[in-house]
């Protein structure tokens, strides 16, 4: 089950956190993974580690907010590898604040990465997927794309947009062999989250508060999210499309 042997997979934000775990998990099941990230040093390290294990991976330096670069990267991969099977739009940025603590520039920055980035890459790769009559687009949303989270106005706004984008994509192209799913994690204990928690006056208290918003009493690991992505990318999920796939530990932190 969940065998991706021979599949061509493109993962954004693959240098760290959830994206790194996705690249590692999908590569371990036989896929050729294009690990894309704006951080060249960290991304190359991820790819080198996979190759040392005998797995197939290539690093792609990419700023997803640059539409022209997204198009050129997609054209290069499609020309060399004759198609793409799975696109994982994982790259994203966050912001803390209510509307009164959010500037238009903050909102534009989040939209540029969280929404327009996946729009640009999906638009670049989709025609080739349609031509081969198969393809999976997995978009990283958030539980904050399904319910409101306090002090996260800009972030939730973009993640709700991701869910809507995914549902429309799925509906428009289902008969052309395309599946699209939005993954909606609860809070995930990534290195980024750990660094942010360390900045709080009482990091341990902040950690416990973030953990307690999940009914299970803890945050997820990146690997748990990657396992869900593996299922959704696989043929075993062939009847799953147009949904917001919640993997949130029973999130209740509105």
pLDDT at 252 over 80: no
**What angle (nearest 5°) sits at the alpha carbon of residue 14, between those of residues 8 and 15?**
140
Contact 59, 40 (CB under 8 A): yes
- pLDDT (tens digit, 9 = 90+) per residue, 165-205? 999 999 999 999 999 999 999 999 998 888 888 888 999 99
Domains and CATH numbers, the chain: 8-185+222-247 (3.40.50.720), 188-219 (no CATH)
Alpha-carbon distances, residue 40 vs 8, 48, 52, 89 (angstroms): 21, 12, 18, 18
At residue 152 the predicted structure's pLDDT band, cuts being 50, 70 and 90, is very high
- pLDDT (tens digit, 9 = 90+) per residue, 94-150? 999 999 999 999 999 999 999 999 999 999 999 999 999 999 999 999 999 999 999
Which residue in 155, 200, 207, 231 is the catalytic one?
Answer: 155
pLDDT of residue 245: 97
Q: Region 212-221: what's the mean pLDDT?
A: 94
Please, which residues bridge with residue 185 across strands?
Answer: 247
Q: Dihedral of CA 100/101/103/106: which sign?
A: negative
pLDDT of residue 41: 98
- State phi, psi for 91 to the nearest 5 degrees: -55, 135
pTM given for the model: 0.95
- pLDDT (tens digit, 9 = 90+) per residue, 17-46? 999 999 999 999 999 999 999 999 999 999
Active site residue 200: no
pLDDT of residue 196: 81
* Maximum separation of any 2 CA atoms in the chain, in Å: 54
pLDDT of residue 198: 87
pLDDT at 253 over 90: no
Euclidean distance between CA atoms 64 and 119, whole angstroms = 9
At residue 81 the predicted structure's pLDDT band, cuts being 50, 70 and 90, is very high
Q: Which long-range contacts (CB under 8 A, 24 or more apart) does 235-241 make?
A: 236/1, 236/2, 237/179, 237/181, 238/179, 240/179, 240/181, 241/170, 241/174, 241/178, 241/179, 241/180, 241/181
């Amino acid at each position: 089950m969940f065998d991706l042997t021979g599949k061509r997979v493109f993962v954004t934000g693959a240098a760290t956190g959830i994206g790194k775990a996705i690249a590692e998990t999908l590569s371990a099941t036989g896929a050729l993974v294009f690990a894309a990230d704006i951080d060249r040093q960290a991304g190359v390290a991820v790819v080198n580690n996979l190759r040392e294990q005998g797995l197939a991976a290539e690093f792609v330096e990419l700023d997803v907010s640059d539409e022209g670069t997204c198009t050129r990267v997609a054209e290069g991969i499609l020309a060399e590898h004759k198609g793409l099977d799975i696109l994982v739009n994982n790259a994203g940025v966050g912001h803390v604040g209510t509307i009164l603590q959010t500037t238009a520039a903050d909102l534009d920055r989040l939209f540029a990465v969280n929404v327009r980035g996946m729009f640009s890459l999906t638009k670049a790769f989709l025609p080739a997927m349609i031509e081969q009559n198969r393809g999976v687009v997995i978009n990283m949303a958030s539980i904050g794309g399904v319910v409101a989270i306090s002090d996260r106005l800009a972030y939730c706004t973009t993640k709700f947009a991701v869910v809507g984008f995914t549902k429309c994509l799925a509906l428009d192209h289902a008969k052309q062999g395309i599946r699209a799913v939005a993954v909606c994690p609860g809070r995930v204990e990534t290195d980024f989250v750990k660094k942010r928690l360390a900045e709080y006056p009482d990091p341990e208290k902040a950690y416990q508060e973030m953990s307690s918003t999940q009914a299970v009493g803890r945050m997820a690991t990146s690997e748990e999210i990657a396992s869900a992505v593996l299922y959704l990318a696989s043929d075993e999920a062939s009847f799953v499309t147009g949904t917001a796939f919640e993997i949130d530990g029973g999130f209740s932190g509105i």
